[in-house]
Amino acid sequence: MTTLADYLNQHATNPALNDVITTVTDVGKTISQLLRKGALADILGEAGNQNVQGEDQKKLDVLANDLLLDALAKNAHCAGVASEELDDATPANDDGSLLVLFDPLDGSSNIDINMAVGTIFSVLPYERQGQTSENSDYLQAGNKQLSAGYLLYGTSTVLALTIADKVVMFSLDPETSDYVLIEDNVQIDADTSEYAINSSNYRYWRAPMQQYIDELIAGETGLRGRDFNTRWVAAMVGDVHRILCRGGLFTYPFDTKYAHKAGKLRLMYEANPMSLLIERAGGGATDAINRILDIEPTDIHQRVPVVLGSKNEVNYVKELHVNYSK
């Protein structure tokens, strides 16, 4: 049996990174316990406020955010924290060498119906050690991430993590409270017949995305010549986890539903960490055309269209978009 602590000792060459990953995953244990108690812990329902993105916050969005923020602020290696739920990044310890970014609770609409939710995190290097960190310090492309991962609070709690060049998974043992290694080299098949998209937004998509989904729905009667199946968890963590387990394509594409947004998902808290995991497991991750990990961010809360998963399928979506714009 290999625990997360064993794995980090054996594989992470950076002790500071070990330490912040341990802090985040320890908080994950607390969030997991609260979720197990559910309504009995008075954690369900609305918090009564909106976040910087204009979204209604759930009690658990706020609670998970505060737990992570408090724990990371005490970590000497953490120079600052940026969260989907906070207007601005919060400086932590000026001498720290790492910045931690997170979506404290992904899939908020699932909380009150007892469905899967998660926590997504990303770690970036801090280049101005000794000085107080600011929003601009976080504006680094996803390819600079030192580590990324998520906790999925599902029927069991699972941690997917990438340090160095591998993606690994751990399961939280509720009896010992240890994360135990269950997969030591996750790989995604290049081909798939499963896809995830919120089709109710069809009329807001661009023509090549409409064409792509039309082709999948036509199945064996269309030019793809085989049937496809839809799965949609409504929490990116759940959909990405399924893809790491058995392949698939997940997309939240560009849409014109809200004029000022390029897509729904957030580059720094969702798209970048998930893209790092997916690429390191052999999959692809684009905004339909360009590699997500190469996007130079201009705002910590910016949004981006996302197409990720089995490589051949991600490339096919790209082909449709490139051909359309020719």
Nearest distance, CB of residue 216 and Mn ion, angstroms = 24
Q: What residues from 68 to 127 belong to the interface with Mn ion (CB under 5 A)?
A: 84, 103, 105-106
Show Cβ contacts of residue 147 under 8 Å, excluding neighbours closer than 6 positions. Answer: 17, 21, 122, 123, 161, 162, 163
Nearest distance, CB of residue 202 and ligand AHG, angstroms = 12
From 50, 114, 156, 198, residue interacting with ligand AHG (rule: CB under 6 A): 198
255 binding Mn ion? (CB under 5 A): no
DSSP-assigned beta bridge partners for residue 99: 80, 124
- Cα(148)–Cα(275) distance, rounded to whole angstroms? 9
Strands (DSSP E) contained in the chain are 46-50, 56-58, 78-83, 90-91, 98-106, 117-125, 147-153, 157-163, 166-173, 178-183, 194-196, 229-230, 249-252, 284-286, 306-309
Answer whether 160's CB lies under 8 Å from 126's CB. no
Q: Which does 41 bind (CB under 5 to 8 A by kind): Mn ion, ligand AHG, none?
A: none
313 binding Mn ion? (CB under 5 A): no
- The reply to whether 156 sits in an annotated binding site is no
- The reply to whether 107 sits in an annotated binding site is yes
Nearest distance, CB of residue 11 and ligand AHG, angstroms = 29
Helix axis angle for 311-325 and 207-218, nearest 10°, is: 130
Tokens of 297: 């961010």
| Smaller CB separation from Mn ion, 84 or 287 | 84
Helix axis angle for 236-246 and 272-280, nearest 10°, is: 10
- The reply to whether 227 sits in an annotated binding site is no
- Cα(289)–Cα(167) distance, rounded to whole angstroms? 24
Parallel/antiparallel/unpaired status of strands 284-286 and 249-252: unpaired
| Smaller CB separation from ligand AHG, 236 or 243 | 236
Q: How many residues bind ligand AHG, per CB under 6 A? A: 13
Window 77-96: contact mask with ligand AHG (x via CB under 6 A): -------x------------
108 binding ligand AHG? (CB under 6 A): yes
Parallel/antiparallel/unpaired status of strands 249-252 and 194-196: parallel
Answer whether 68's CB lies under 8 Å from 83's CB. yes
From 252, 280, 295, 305, residue interacting with ligand AHG (rule: CB under 6 A): 252
301 binding ligand AHG? (CB under 6 A): no
Helix (H, G, I), strand (E, B) or coil at 142: helix
Nearest distance, CB of residue 160 and ligand AHG, angstroms = 15
153 binding ligand AHG? (CB under 6 A): no
Query: What count of Cα atoms within 13 Å lies in the side-chain half-sphere of residue 150?
Result: 31
Window 208-247: contact mask with ligand AHG (x via CB under 6 A): --------------------------xxx-----------
Nearest distance, CB of residue 299 and ligand AHG, angstroms = 17
Residues in touch with ligand AHG (CB under 6 A): 55, 84, 103, 106-109, 198, 234-236, 252, 264
Binding site for Mn ion (CB under 5 A): 84, 103, 105-106
Annotated binding site for substrate: 106-109, 198, 264
